[in-house]
Amino acid sequence: MKLDTLADAVGEWLRGTGPESDIVMSSRVRLARNVAQYPFVSRMSDQDRGEVERFLRERISSSSVGKELDYIDVGRLEEIDRQFLVERQLISREHAEAQGARGVAIDGLEQVSLMINEEDHLRIQCMHSGLDLRGAWEQIRGVDDQIGSAVPYAYHPKWGYLTACPTNVGTGIRVSVMLHLPALVITRQIDKVFRSLHKISLAVRGLYGEGSQAMGDFYQISNQTTLGKSEEELVEQVGDVVPVLIDYERRAREFLVRETQQNVHDQVSRAYGILRTAQTITAEETMQLLSRVRMGVLLGLIGDVKIADINSLLIRTQPAHLQKLRGVELDTKDRNIERARYLRRHFEGGPSGSPN
Amino acid sequence: MKCQECDKQAVFHITELETGEVRELHLCEDHARTYLNQSESAEGDDDEKASGGGLTGPLTVGQTADELALLDKKACPMCGITFFEFRNQGRLGCPHDYVHFEKELEPLIANIHGAAQHTGRKPQRPQADEGSQLSEGSQLPEGTEELTTVIGLRRSMQEAIACEDYEQAREVRDGIRGIEDRWLPDAARDPGSPPAGPPTS
Ligand SMILES: [Zn+2]
Ligand SMILES: [Zn+2]
């Protein structure tokens, strides 16, 4: 697979389609699995690591799902290419930064990714645009069955699927949705929402950028426990709370328009103004401003921008994407200048202007 | 290592697992007691804490430093990880750890998940090829304990080779092959290896 060809597409998590996609960016399910006859990743020798990588790669590629996947040898990628895969949410940051034999198998739609030698020997992920946890679950279950019929997953009748960290043991499942919640942030209700989610054993994480600072108003909600409930129950546990959050966010957006029309219009217009005129801009600020413009478009306060364009800018202004599109490696300072130039060129092109 | 709160020797190495984040604490006995008392009482009246689940809370209840030190030295016979290493890293060494350290892990896992019995899916066992030696009667068990013993056998094979006890090494290797043949019927073997026979007794 040529990574450069991926750069032209936006990837599944920013496709901007699917149910409730004004608020739900993507739905994701991942399964943690280990091969029974090897130590867990942190205890593997270099030889074990190489053998597990080869064992899983061969058995995945000879399965029927494997025929639709491209395999990338992450251990041999340049740093910028690993970063690129992180930005597309096809591998984790930990997987990008690890050492030794490891890889990822990805399908053409970028919905399915199988990470080899992450924290566990195998991490299967399935991502769908918008709110579609059920669809993502059905798909990953099929993939897991196919791989599992060729790979002896470490399993114990009492503890379920055995994982390197006891926080994942049992089902090994992490069910999550990425939500765009700008109005809950602006109306300062987001902390209250998070506290109530914690009480029902759900975890909330911001979307992180180059630093460790949360970016934009994007939040990931996921299950915290993996043992004692079935996979379906855990999918439901996350799925059940999403309509409630969507409703909160919609009401907060309506409140903003009704009660603070000038203020919110001013905020999104200023955000739009900066994006169109800045001469140098960080990835974090870009994401923050794009988030506000995205809300402005959805509220009908900005007329000449499409949501699909915003989504595409969200990914293309990230560091590795920016450099891939430009075709050269840039340091932070030059990236900020290039990012501002990219944004100006995009918005100068008018309503449907292509950045290329 | 010094206690992170004072100059005394740190004897408690606590790994807290919260929302997937690992936090390490190195404390002397006094500070550890204070810390654990705090987190216990915090858990009592703060229901937000219930979801996070400290790794060490229940573990240390009623255990003296001596008992802990002894437990810390307990090592998994397959991968060799000690409980001390697990507590420091928050990551287990191999699937057998869930059996070998079951008594110690059970309260931690129950605390994290609020349950101690898996009720989800079961793996699809690798299917034997037609005409393979796997007879219909010899169904593979649900648990993969037997296959995981290969991790320990590989270690003893290495040790035998290091001691130049090749006879022993061969025997262990045949044992490994016997198990792998049962569990990985269509295993891609090294090109040079002879076809696998039945396990030698
Ligand atoms: Zn101290
Ligand atoms: Zn072990």
pLDDT (tens digit, 9 = 90+) per residue, B71-113? 777 899 999 999 989 988 899 999 999 999 999 999 999 999 9
Does the pLDDT of residue B45 top 70, yes or no? no
For B57, the token pair is 């809370």
Average pLDDT (B145-173) is 94
Confidence of residue A195 (pLDDT cuts 50, 70, 90): confident
Confidence of residue B14 (pLDDT cuts 50, 70, 90): low
Residue B24's pLDDT is what?
A: 66
Q: Is B147 in contact with A152 (Cβ distance < 8 A)?
A: yes
Does the pLDDT of residue A351 top 70, yes or no? no
Q: Residue A13's closest CA among A79, A104, A112, A83?
A: A112
**Among B116, B144, B151, whose Cβ lies nearest the Cβ of A155?**
B144
Residue A201's pLDDT is what?
A: 85
Cα distances from B199 to residues A142, B83, B172, B180, B189, in angstroms, run 35, 33, 10, 10, 16
Of A7-21, A210-224, B124-138, the range with the lowest mean pLDDT is B124-138
Confidence of residue A104 (pLDDT cuts 50, 70, 90): very high
> What is the number of CB-based contacts under 8 A between chain A and chain B?
162
Of A1-5, A105-109, A274-278, the range with the lowest mean pLDDT is A1-5
Q: Does A38 touch chain B (CB under 8 A)?
A: yes
- A chain contacts of residue B81, beta-carbon cutoff 8 Å: 43
Q: In whole angstroms, what separates CA A134 from the centre of its chain?
A: 17
Residue B131's pLDDT is what?
A: 47
Q: In whole angstroms, what separates CA B114 from the centre of its chain?
A: 20
Q: What is the pLDDT of residues A112-157, one digit of tens each?
A: 999 999 999 999 999 999 999 999 999 999 999 999 999 999 999 9
Interface test with A, best of B82, B89, B92, B176 (most A CBs within 10 A): B92
Q: Is B124 in contact with A148 (Cβ distance < 8 A)?
A: yes
Residue B52's pLDDT is what?
A: 38
Confidence of residue B60 (pLDDT cuts 50, 70, 90): very low
Please state, rounded to an integer, the average pLDDT across all residues of chain B. Answer: 74
Q: Does A225 touch chain B (CB under 8 A)?
A: yes
For A135, the token pair is 């669809």
Does the pLDDT of residue B201 top 60, yes or no? no
Q: Is A170 in contact with B112 (Cβ distance < 8 A)?
A: no
Closest Cα of chain B to A271: distance in Å? 33
- A chain contacts of residue B114, beta-carbon cutoff 8 Å: 201, 225, 228
Of A52-61, A200-209, B73-82, B188-197, the range with the lowest mean pLDDT is B188-197
What type of residue is B49?
Answer: K
Q: What is the pLDDT of residues A256-272, one digit of tens each?
A: 988 887 889 999 999 99
Ligand in nearest proximity to the CA of B3 = 1
**Contact yes or no for A153/A39 (Cβ under 8 A):** no
Residue A10's pLDDT is what?
A: 67
For A44, the token pair is 């593997």
Beta strands in chain B (DSSP E): 12-18, 21-27
Q: What is this model's ipTM?
A: 0.89
Confidence of residue A49 (pLDDT cuts 50, 70, 90): very high
What type of residue is A233?
Answer: E
d(CA A299, CA B140): 59
d(CA A344, CA A340): 6
B-chain residue closest to A143, CA distance? B124
**Contact yes or no for A88/A110 (Cβ under 8 A):** yes
Residues near ion ligand 2 (CB < 5 Å) are B 76, 78-79, 93-94, 96-97
- B chain contacts of residue A42, beta-carbon cutoff 8 Å: 89, 91, 93
Q: Is B151 in contact with A199 (Cβ distance < 8 A)?
A: no
Interface test with A, best of B16, B94, B181 (most A CBs within 10 A): B94
Beta strands in chain A (DSSP E): 24-33, 69-72, 103-107, 112-116, 122-129, 155-156, 160-161, 173-180, 202-208, 214-223
d(CA A30, CA A18): 19
Burial class of A258 by CB neighbour count within 10 A (0 to 12, 13 to 18, 19+): exposed
Residue A209's pLDDT is what?
A: 52
Does the pLDDT of residue A352 top 80, yes or no? no
Does the pLDDT of residue B190 top 70, yes or no? no
Confidence of residue A208 (pLDDT cuts 50, 70, 90): low
Q: Residue B156's closest CA among B146, B168, B148, B145?
A: B168
Of A11-25, A309-323, A324-338, B92-106, the range with the lowest mean pLDDT is A11-25
Average pLDDT (B116-125) is 91
**Among A37, A148, A171, whose Cβ lies nearest the Cβ of B120?**
A171
Q: Does A201 touch chain B (CB under 8 A)?
A: yes
- B chain contacts of residue A205, beta-carbon cutoff 8 Å: 19
Ligand in nearest proximity to the CA of B74 = 2
Choice between B70 and A283, residue whose per-residue pLDDT is larger: A283
Average pLDDT (A59-65) is 92
Please state, rounded to an integer, the average pLDDT across all residues of chain A. Answer: 90
How many helices (H) and strands (E) chain B has is answered by 9, 2
Ligand in nearest proximity to the CA of B7 = 1
Q: Quick one: residue A74, left, alpha or beta (phi over 0 = left, psi -120 to 50 = alpha)?
A: alpha
pTM of the model: 0.82
Choice between B20 and A98, residue whose per-residue pLDDT is larger: A98
Q: Quick one: residue A110, left, alpha or beta (phi over 0 = left, psi -120 to 50 = alpha)?
A: left
SS3 content of chain B, % helix, strand, coil (to 5): 45, 10, 45
- B chain contacts of residue A196, beta-carbon cutoff 8 Å: none
For A14, the token pair is 């920013």
